[in-house]
Amino acid sequence: MEIIAIANQKGGVGKTTTAVNLTASLAAKRKRVLLIDLDPQGNATTGTGLDKNDLALTMADVLLDGVSLQEAIVTSPAGFDVIGTNRELAGIDITLMGQTNSHELLKTAMTQLVTDQANGQKKPYDYIIMDCAPSLNLLTINALVATDGVIIPMQCEYYALEGLADLSQTIERLTELNPKLYIRGVVRTLFDARNTLARDVSAELQTHFGDIMYKTHIPRNIRLAEAPAHGMPVIAYDRWSKGSRAYLKLAAEVIEQSRGK
Ligand code: ADP
Ligand code: MG
């Protein structure tokens, strides 16, 4: 079982799109996957066809009431397992402030999940993918403490290099809380190959961070933006779109990384 957090402190860079579509693509490649939504906006939850306000149990119950991850899992209309989230998770920083180990709640729950699955004779997940909020709040810290690797979606715009240097530093600092933490890869998102700046920035990223860059670029593709409104990953909405094919390629790269370990 490998745990992957999709994180970037910036909003609108394609975190949720990557979380949903990478999970769906891994599932399409017959991997056992679980998607955990850790952004109170609940966009990843909605993106799999679930009604975020009609869930019996959410990540709020897991993190605030000690419900097990196993109990909170639902099979989404997209066909894979999801633990959803909604606004109930919004004030968690304040609720848990001062509680010792508040940054380790998810890690503890993950350990329990492994035991629960073994006891229930379930095959363990190949991948658990977590969609993070665009900030370094307590939820994101929980994700980064519980995870093995981080995938960083990044737009190829002017401040990308600086942004990535900052993020690497943040992750470096967090290895104090999670020695396993590492950047699994950076994926260039919302990519427009006709845009000269985007091409230049992409090349710069390749020069300076080549060893952690995925080869796959996710193009700016209208189908990727439309799919969530239909509660579907793009692979279900338009299998042959550029966006769908790009996320399948990214999933192949992620699986290839697992082989190398
Ligand atoms: P984040 O989770 O980082 O805030 P999102 O994944 O929600 O970012 O993406 C922000 C917006 O951009 C959404 O409306 C989404 O549908 C759209 N979007 C994301 N990636 C793409 C893409 N490759 N092509 C077109 N639209 C995209
Ligand atoms: Mg998001």
* Residue 147 beta carbon below 6 angstroms from any ligand 1 atom: no
Tokens of 60: 């709020």
* Residue 189 beta carbon below 6 angstroms from any ligand 1 atom: yes
Sheet holding 213-219, edge to edge: 74-75, 81-83, 33-37, 127-131, 2-6, 149-155, 182-191, 213-219
CA–CA dist 188, 219 (Å, integer)? 8
**C-alpha angle 261/121/79, rounded to 5°?**
75
Which ligand is the nearest neighbour of the Cα of 189? Answer: 1
**pLDDT in single tens digits along all 261 residues of the chain:** 999 999 999 999 999 999 999 999 999 999 999 999 999 999 999 999 999 999 999 999 999 999 999 999 999 999 999 999 999 999 888 888 888 899 999 999 999 999 999 999 888 999 999 999 999 999 999 999 999 999 999 999 989 999 999 999 999 999 999 999 999 999 999 999 999 999 999 999 999 999 999 999 999 999 999 999 999 999 999 999 999 999 999 999 999 999 977
CATH code for the structural domain at 2-259: 3.40.50.300
Ranges of each domain in the chain: 2-259
CA 190 to ligand 1 center in whole angstroms: 7
Which atom of ligand 1 sits closest to the CA of residue 220?
Answer: 24
CA–CA dist 245, 190 (Å, integer)? 14
> Which residues lie near ion ligand 2 (Cβ < 5 Å)?
15-16
Which atom of ligand 1 sits closest to the CA of residue 190?
Answer: 23
CA 221 to ligand 2 center in whole angstroms: 17
- Report yes or no: 112 and 68 within 8 Å, Cβ to Cβ: yes
Which atom of ligand 1 sits closest to the CA of residue 39?
Answer: 2
**Which of 6, 17, 214 for mutating ligand 1's site (highest number of atoms within 8 Å of CB)?**
17
Residue owning the nearest CA to atom 4 of ligand 1: 12
Residue owning the nearest CA to atom 19 of ligand 1: 14
Task: Tell me the β-bridge partners of 128.
Answer: 3, 34
pTM: 0.97
- Report yes or no: 14 and 190 within 8 Å, Cβ to Cβ: yes
